[in-house]
Structure 1
């Protein structure tokens, strides 16, 4: 049996095994493939080996060497291209929903991290994470992204919301009535899509405009619910899961 990889993973919440999309993607992929994975749940990025944060190795996880741990082994060239295209997307709408939207950030995101991160880090780490996400959006949108607060509130927010709605609608159309995006078996694309949709679906957001659009797409909601019940069949996501035949610690 292969030695397990180690994942330093943000804690669970909102009924999810982790609230961080990157962590959730790795956890989900390991569940899909049965790849042995030792999970360390942390409440500070400095507790991970690099000091940069949890879920540091999505690419290595997808490339988990033995064939039996590669969920993409049998994908066609077109399916592989679709997967690469989605992986290249940095998902600015999700960043904006959780980290830039003032009401969501103050009343939900910062509140959760401040209550989870130990003292005294909880006083400044959420704001540092907030700043890092703003910088990511600035890199994506250009140097003028944060220059004008009115622009942020009107033009950029409206454009992000339009793009996010369109993305969700296209995902819904692409999934159709299938169980997973490429049929009856999950692939890395499913781990990535689920990790982006599930937090948006499950979080109790005070500004839930985009969330309401997701909830109107019944097949995407069923998709997330199905993955949670099949691969994370415990309640709440707050504690450690029971033993699982896939080998996830």
Structure 2
């Protein structure tokens, strides 16, 4: 049987099964482990599933980053729905849509294409900026990142795991031309993206009108995490805070979909 046939049958099987009463979303511990980019991604998926009114249970685990079927380091969060396991926002979104759930089904095709392009831009850009702050900015790296990332490992494994993670993140940032940016250059890029998002949102409740889409969940996850995760260098929060409608956007979603979103405490 060909790979294409296998993939078709697998997708058909996914689509035919109802959403279970319990799905599990795995993420690192919020109190003392999770970092900025991870928190943003996990919150984005939680917001997305909440907007769709799909039941799920958040499971905080020290090894959430290594829960891929192959046992390798994976992007967060990790969603397990019965025998299916998916990680990170994009793949979880595709899985959920295979099961027939979508926030953007009422958009025009042009709007859907526009939203998909913005999903890619927002996810990649904010994630790289958040990783830069966590793993390149020396003050944040020294005072926050190493303690939080290494806290679940015994000595000297904590230092080894920190080094491995730092090396992997910096390699990725180098590939996307973020590693050699100065902090001022990074802030300028973030400011341009926020200006674009602010203009697109304008005075609307959500980016495409009165109802939320996947883009709203993703942007909220990143912006709210940046606003609430306390760091010694809060340059990203200061930059975003200039845009009043983006602040209000976050407040509206928090009030409607979460009784409270408790930010991780500072290590």
Q: Give the TM-score category using the shorter length.
A: 0.7 to 0.9
Residue 119 in structure 1 maps to residue 154 in structure 2: yes
TM-score, normalised by the number of residues in structure 2: 0.73
Aligned residue-pair number? 225
1:10 touches 1:23 (CA, 8 Å); kept in 2?
no
1:28 touches 1:191 (CA, 8 Å); kept in 2?
yes
**Structure 1, gaps ≥5 residues long:** 147-151, 239-249
**1:12-31 alignment to 2 at 5 Å?**
12=30, 20-31=39-50
Q: What is the match of residue 215 of structure 1?
A: 241
Q: Among 112, 120, 142, which residue is 1:80 paired with?
A: 112
Q: Among 64, 67, 91, which residue is 1:48 paired with?
A: 67
**Structure 2, gaps ≥5 residues long:** 1-17, 78-86
Residue 132 in structure 1 maps to residue 151 in structure 2: no
2:207 touches 2:215 (CA, 8 Å); kept in 1?
yes
The 1:227–1:99 alpha-carbon spacing in structure 2 relative to 1, beyond 3 Å, is: farther
Structure number with higher relative contact order (C-alpha < 8 Å, ≥ 6 residues apart): 1
What is the SS of the residue equivalent to 2:189?
helix
The 1:97–1:79 alpha-carbon spacing in structure 2 relative to 1, beyond 3 Å, is: farther
Q: What is the match of residue 102 of structure 2?
A: 70
The 1:122–1:79 alpha-carbon spacing in structure 2 relative to 1, beyond 3 Å, is: farther
Q: Among 153, 160, 164, which residue is 2:190 paired with?
A: 164
2:224 touches 2:250 (CA, 8 Å); kept in 1?
yes
Residue 2 in structure 1 maps to residue 19 in structure 2: yes
The 1:114–1:35 alpha-carbon spacing in structure 2 relative to 1, beyond 3 Å, is: same
What is the SS of the residue equivalent to 2:148?
helix
The 1:46–1:24 alpha-carbon spacing in structure 2 relative to 1, beyond 3 Å, is: closer
Runs of 4+ in 1 over 4 A off after TM superposition: none
Separation of aligned partners in 2, 1:189 and 1:111: 32
- Which stretch of the first structure deviates more once superposed, 31-40 or 117-126? 117-126
Residue 61 in structure 1 maps to residue 89 in structure 2: no
Q: Among 119, 140, 151, which residue is 1:104 paired with?
A: 140
Separation of aligned partners in 2, 1:39 and 1:32: 15
2:190 touches 2:239 (CA, 8 Å); kept in 1?
no
Shift of 1:123: 3.5
2:131 touches 2:169 (CA, 8 Å); kept in 1?
yes
